[in-house]
Amino acid sequence: MKIRILAIGDVTSPGGVSHLSQNLWAFRRENAVDFCIVNGENASLVYSMKEEQAKEMLAAGADVITGGNHTMRNLSAFSYMDKEKNVLRPCNFPTDVPGHGYAVCDVCGYRLLVINAMGQVHIEPVLDSPFTAVDKILKREEGKYDLAVMDFHAEATGEKLAVGYAFDGKIQAVFGTHTHVPTADACLLPRGTAYVTDIGMCGETGGILGMEPKGVVERMRTHLSYPFSAAKGQVRAQGVLIVLDTDKKVAVSIDRIEF
């Protein structure tokens, strides 16, 4: 059997949340998507996401919401993240941090392990080793899942590739998030893992990573805290569609999508 998994890049604004509400279910139906993962860590315009935004994305067709370096900035969402097992934060946060770093979900009768991990290179906060944290999860959940996928939220391309190769054949798909820029290296690794360095973003186009250029440029030019605002272009969702073979337990394809 083949399972079709859709992964959508960082939602960068409330406009991105609304775009998913209006379009995600239709895209899922048109493309026979069995399961959808959305990185929602920037849904409140860069800084984390609110509980109501997480609920809206789940209702819009996201089966799991993953996070990243901004996820734990919204203290008001902590109790919700503790209760909602399909809204994740990176698994390599300390164990006493609220929320969950992975989830096991039913997909067409198969148990899919969804892991969210974060890199350590050129990104803050600097967390525990993602290699060690993911190894522990795979060992802890051994025999309790059939297939596994991972959102690896990281800045450095080399670190992302290293994680992809480290878990090639152990996790059926490793896709990168965080940089908001789609990369052209979607491929199948030697042992059957679908890999891509970054899947892109879901938000307003025509700016810098979903933001109006002025604030971003001034921050970089002056090192002062200029406010961000959403870009003015058309809202688009970027990501990848991954097909997994449940019998061979390998990925058979990974293709870019945009809507």
pLDDT in tens, 35-74: 999 999 999 987 789 999 999 999 999 999 999 999 998 8
pLDDT in tens, 107-160: 999 999 999 999 999 999 999 999 999 999 999 999 999 999 999 999 999 999
Cα–Cα distance measured from residue 209 to residue 256, given in angstroms and rounded to the nearest whole number? 18
Cα–Cα distance measured from residue 120 to residue 105, given in angstroms and rounded to the nearest whole number? 27
- pTM of the predicted structure, to 2 decimals: 0.96
Q: What pLDDT, on a 0 to 100 scale, did the predictor assign at position 227? A: 87
User: Which residue stretches of the chain are H helix?
Assistant: 14-30, 51-60, 78-83, 130-140, 157-166, 213-222
- How many degrees, rounded to 5, is the angle at CA 115 between CA 163 and CA 110? 120
pLDDT in tens, 159-204: 999 999 999 999 999 999 999 999 999 999 999 999 999 999 999 9
CATH superfamily of 2-258: Metallo-dependent phosphatases (3.60.21.10)
Domain ranges, ordered by start, for the chain: 2-258
- Do residues 60 and 28 make contact, with C-beta atoms less than 8 angstroms apart? no
Q: What pLDDT, on a 0 to 100 scale, did the predictor assign at position 42? A: 93
Residues known to be catalytic: 70
